[in-house]
Amino acid sequence: MPRSEQESTEGVPVEDSIVPNASQPVEFTPMDTTGVREQRQPARESGLRGKVVVITGAVAGIGRATALRFAEEGARIAAWDVSTDTATQLESAIKRTGGESHFQIVDVTDASAVESAAAAVVEQWGRIDVLINNAGIVRDAQLVKWNGGSPESIMSEEIWDSVIGVNLKGVFLVTRAVVPHMIKGGGGVILCAASVVGLLGNFGQTNYVASKAGVIGMTRTWARELGKYKIRVNAVAPGFIATDMVRAMPEKVLEAMVARTPLGRPGKPEEVANTYFWLASDQASFIHGAVISVDGGVVIGT
């Protein structure tokens, strides 16, 4: 019986199991390293010129900085967002870089809107090379806030569902819609917005932390499933980055966040954008299933 028809002990076909390319013999030829320096691309070559990049939550904060970073290098930007507030400014800013963009109103929690948006990108540019799952929201509350012998407030199901809906289910829906196009196109790169709190936990953020820990789990799972299609999958875990998402927080909380950051300052959206850019580039061609912290050292712990 050919190996692909065999069953693993759990009843999972070998081809679909966690063993990549289990049906094919592994080819290994000892490497001749003499020409390595000559074969290496110059550091400035990103390989991203002309590539089609889908960015969710693209009109603000980290998403906006990321759209501009890729556009500056000649990538074509499919910008998706529920908000149209600054979409026109983003498109003009991309135009000024000499880049090309296409904005679509897409709510990442709406499966059919996401499927149609992915199809529209392929219709326009023929392919999707990079997906950046950036859209995210916060709605904080303590699980149970106890006061004077009884609960003063609890985290409601409504705010649990809304944060899980955008930050976790949204990433699932968008990735599920884009992956078939990447497989047909011969490969791609998927990058997901996690957070340092997905690694450490955080007071008042049961819903947000669960969503970001889930994103890390999905990233590692997709790295196992999609590597054989030449699709690299990684997550970025930012710390405290100065965007609208955190500016709305009370001054005291912001000061505490800086105090927890060994570099002693908030990060800039552009610093996260640079990380997405590098991870999507050919310079990161063997980085797969990783969670890269961009947090000024918060992940070290206190």
Ligand X SMILES: NC(=O)c1ccc[n+]([C@@H]2O[C@H](COP(=O)([O-])OP(=O)(O)OC[C@H]3O[C@@H](n4cnc5c(N)ncnc54)[C@H](O)[C@@H]3O)[C@@H](O)[C@H]2O)c1
Binding site for ligand X (CB under 6 A): 56-57, 59-63, 81-83, 106-109, 134-137, 166, 170, 193, 195, 238, 240-241, 243-246
Whether 229 is catalytic is no
Shortest approach of ligand X to residue 83 CB, angstroms? 4
> 118 or 193: whose CB is closer to ligand X?
193
Shortest distance (Å) from residue 137 CB to ligand X = 5
Q: Which of 208, 222, 240, 277 is catalytic?
A: 208
Q: Which is nearer to ligand X, 183 or 246 (CB)?
A: 246
User: Whole-number minimum distance, CB 265 to ligand X, in Å?
Assistant: 12
Q: Are the beta carbons of 168 and 215 closer than 8 angstroms? A: yes
* Rounded least distance, CB 252 to ligand X, Å: 16
Structure tokens at 38: 């000559």
Which residues partner with 81 through β-bridges? 105
Cα–Cα dist 241/247, whole Å: 9
d(CA 130, CA 91): 19
Please identify, using beta-carbon distances, which residue of 183 and 256 lies nearer to ligand X: 256
Nearest distance from C-beta of residue 42 to ligand X, angstroms: 31
Q: Where are the alpha helices (DSSP H) in 129-267?
A: 157-164, 170-185, 196-200, 206-226, 244-247, 251-259
Task: Please report the DSSP string for 243-267 in residue order.
Answer: SHHHHTS-HHHHHHHHHT-TTSS-B
**Closer residue to ligand X in complex, CB, 78/193:** 193
> DSSP code of 27?
P
Which of residues 63 and 99 has its CB atom nearest to ligand X in the complex?
63
Cβ neighbours of residue 276 under 8 Å, at least 6 residues apart? 66, 69, 70, 132, 191, 236
Rounded to an integer, what distance in angstroms lies between the CA atom of residue 247 and that of residue 254? 8
Q: Are 14 and 6 in contact (CB under 8 A)?
A: yes
Catalytic residues: 208
